[in-house]
A and B are shown apart, each in its own frame.
Chain A
């Protein structure tokens, strides 16, 4: 159920919209309240704090007929409405010179919709005591794998998101929960130190802990195995990407380039490629907060949203409406290798005269909304993983995302995998390397995809920045891909 705090501010927001509506041609208010706990337990330290995703605040968006303006504030009460209104007018009114040159944007559509959305948490909640007790047992299991394990560290980020969106014609609220869980294992042998990470994202802490439990031993064993890993000999190799790296490619190499605020700014090469081939015909790619993965794919339409007040089963970044008040979508970006669509926030869509896709997201209400990815993935194919491995003469299978960086205009790649396993003549040789940096030109990589597995999954506990700021939670993934890439 939506937070009682936001409920208590609902009427104040409505009144503010009404008052500002006398001055501006478009007015909306977004209120967000994200609460929960971040629990950390390691071999040598324990702490409890608010969730890293915590947010509480409001942002007003107005348009005076020339451009969009926003004002962020921490709280609103009946008594402070006149003061907030005065601040908005004072702080957002620009000098004639500054406001003379502005972009041409349509006034945002304000289709009538009054709706409360709710996604129940998947399972009963756990107390801090229960979570710490479970983590303590897990910590001992990680250490039991080897004396070389010097640290086991866990982070549980369990939170609930409530938001309201109010404009002249829209009155929306939503509430949903999510839990991200991380386990780090650190192994040491003399001067050599290696770490590994297992991450789980689920709708509910109980389920997340259960899934993580199945990954503990392999995570610890891998940390020990990596003690003997070396650096890769730079070169061009056949690669097989595990789902985490497939997701990294979908997100960094291509996803950022189809964020349509980049089209507005002429920052994305992809805007010249809509309707053209950008990848092997085996490639299909999606993004959307309404994506149902991996079991099914569907979309929440305005009509369905009006008909059905029950929850939808959403993965990872599963909101019902975005920070612009636009209902979430499932957008197919690449169809059979052809770029068919980008994703967009409301203001960018108004500048491009297209429909927004429910991808307007803010780091928190004190910051601007941009076009942001949500759940980004390549769709599965028909190949069997064992056939893919058998087909590699000499190359590497790459595992576990470390990080990546986008380059939407020039389509260069930098994706970092935590480790790779050597394959020769269709078999793993036992050689392991860490880290592995993939680089090159995006279309070359996507065109080189020659096999796509039928097995796939998505990981829902990452974070993404826009450039080097504006961090929001994201998920990505997909099937195993066979491709060819420069590794270093």
Chain B
């Protein structure tokens, strides 16, 4: 297919440049209702997406389309011409494409290389259900996915990069039941390598969280919601809140005049009373399954510091918008946000009353308004002596106020696209 496409693209004089993205996905999947298997699935699918570029003077148009394995040369040729024609009406300022460079990219070290996806799914299944051992607790539904991705990117400027990656995912619905009452939580566990005992431990932790939700009281019955309380966010919610700063520093936001900050701006305001932010976008972090050494344009990714000592020092993002802004070597779309942890351990944070928000329905962080918050499905109120599980409340805050006073923990965590502080302490959130 690739050689056929290259030949046909070369034969079309209106094609100024091209890019081909290929993704082959193989998967093995198990779907459970309780401990009983409902469905097993396997997939072996491939997709080719071709982008053609056509130039007119100082302008460049582009059109992307799917190429199917069933297409004949005549059909492919017609499709290329049709999209060159469409591209000629979608003109933009000219930008070049990344050029091919010699690069030795590390190979995945996933232990999934050493087994079939079907065998891996069975190992994960055993590890998951090893944790399902409580009288009141159960996994009411479980979905297990083991995927292998073969990705390849080629372009007319010599880029030819490929990578094989593995991803395991388990969608868990841990539940807790007693005397006819039931509660559940949702958790998606993802990993690039299988560690059966770690999977069992993580499932066990989620079952215990379900148990805590069962015991949880409405927060309004525990404290007066009007009384100020320190809120502690953790893990995914910490990442979501800190991503506010990174998302404001992309080439695309700047190009579209929607950037919140300029280079040199103090992103946390003029006077920082909390932790001073240092953030870097990186291609790879062990355990962060969204790691990638190149992006969809074929840019080989390298570490890019974006915030130093609270000051914006660099933008990052897609090659196209970087070129529009005059960058000679745009960073590419770096996947992982790495934030330097603070100096205060959680054990220090825990010396006075706090409200730790453990399970959200989905935290909102809105770049333009600065609003952040959401409905908390499980929290823990620490009254100075013990943590009390609480539920039935929402929190809301304003990033423009809270950004200068947030305290980052020295405890670290690694998530799919994040490495940095695990906990975030915020003093000025409203409770409802």
Residues in B with CB closer than 8 Å to A70 are 39-42
Q: Are B258 and A150 in contact (CB under 8 A)?
A: yes
Q: Tell me if A298 is interfacial: C-beta within 8 Å of chain B.
A: no
Residues in B with CB closer than 8 Å to A402 are 364
| Chain B residue at minimal CB-CB distance from A232 | B396
Out of B44, B184, B188, name the residue touching A468 (CB < 8 Å): B188
Q: Are B30 and A98 in contact (CB under 8 A)?
A: yes
B interface residues, how many (CB within 8 angstroms) = 77
Residues in A with CB closer than 8 Å to B29 are 368
Q: Are B39 and A49 in contact (CB under 8 A)?
A: no
Residues in A with CB closer than 8 Å to B49 are 50
Q: Tell me if A193 is interfacial: C-beta within 8 Å of chain B.
A: yes
| Chain A residue at minimal CB-CB distance from B52 | A48
| Chain A residue at minimal CB-CB distance from B44 | A73
Residues in B with CB closer than 8 Å to A77 are 70
Residues in B with CB closer than 8 Å to A488 are 373, 394, 396, 430, 432
Residues in B with CB closer than 8 Å to A235 are 432
Residues in A with CB closer than 8 Å to B43 are 71-73, 366-367
Q: Are A44 and B171 in contact (CB under 8 A)?
A: no
Q: Are B369 and A231 in contact (CB under 8 A)?
A: yes
**Which DSSP category, helix, strand, loop or mixed, fits chain B's interface?**
strand
Out of A37, A74, A413, name the residue touching B375 (CB < 8 Å): A413
Q: Tell me if B349 is interfacial: C-beta within 8 Å of chain A.
A: no
Contact with A along B250-267 (1 / 0, CB 8 A): 000001111010000000
Q: Which of B81-89, B149-157, B381-389 faces chain A?
A: B81-89
Out of B51, B89, B369, B375, name the residue touching A414 (CB < 8 Å): B375
Q: Are A50 and B45 in contact (CB under 8 A)?
A: no
| Chain A residue at minimal CB-CB distance from B369 | A434
Q: Tell me if B69 is interfacial: C-beta within 8 Å of chain A.
A: yes
A interface residues, how many (CB within 8 angstroms) = 84
| Chain B residue at minimal CB-CB distance from A468 | B188
Q: Are A151 and B256 in contact (CB under 8 A)?
A: yes
Q: Are A437 and B90 in contact (CB under 8 A)?
A: no
Out of A87, A133, A439, name the residue touching B44 (CB < 8 Å): A87
B337 CB to closest chain A CB (Å) equals: 19
Q: Are B36 and A50 in contact (CB under 8 A)?
A: no
Q: Tell me if B125 is interfacial: C-beta within 8 Å of chain A.
A: yes
Tell me, in angstroms, the Cα distance from A74 to B48 when the chains sit together.
11
B302 CB to closest chain A CB (Å) equals: 26
Tell me, in angstroms, the Cα distance from A366 to B26 when the chains sit together.
10
Q: Are A5 and B182 in contact (CB under 8 A)?
A: no
| Chain B residue at minimal CB-CB distance from A67 | B37
B400 CB to closest chain A CB (Å) equals: 8
Q: Tell me if A22 is interfacial: C-beta within 8 Å of chain B.
A: no
Tell me, in angstroms, the Cα distance from A235 to B86 when the chains sit together.
52
Q: Tell me if A427 is interfacial: C-beta within 8 Å of chain B.
A: no
B321 CB to closest chain A CB (Å) equals: 9
Out of A73, A133, A267, name the residue touching B45 (CB < 8 Å): A73
Residues in B with CB closer than 8 Å to A366 are 25, 27, 43, 45
Query: Which A324-357 residues sit within 8 Å CB-CB of chain B?
Result: 347, 351
Do A103 and B36 form a contact, CB below 8 Å, given A42-B256, A47-B90, A186-B258? Answer: yes
Q: Are A101 and B258 in contact (CB under 8 A)?
A: no
Top 8 nearest A-B pairs (CB, nearest first) are A91-B42, A72-B43, A234-B432, A49-B64, A265-B141, A48-B63, A414-B375, A414-B361
8 A/B residue pairs, CB under 8 Å, sorted by A: A37-B86, A45-B256, A68-B39, A74-B44, A266-B34, A366-B27, A405-B375, A412-B361
**What would 8 more interface pairs be, CB under 8 Å, given A44-B256, A193-B258, A488-B396?**
A46-B92, A70-B41, A74-B44, A94-B37, A102-B37, A414-B362, A414-B375, A439-B394
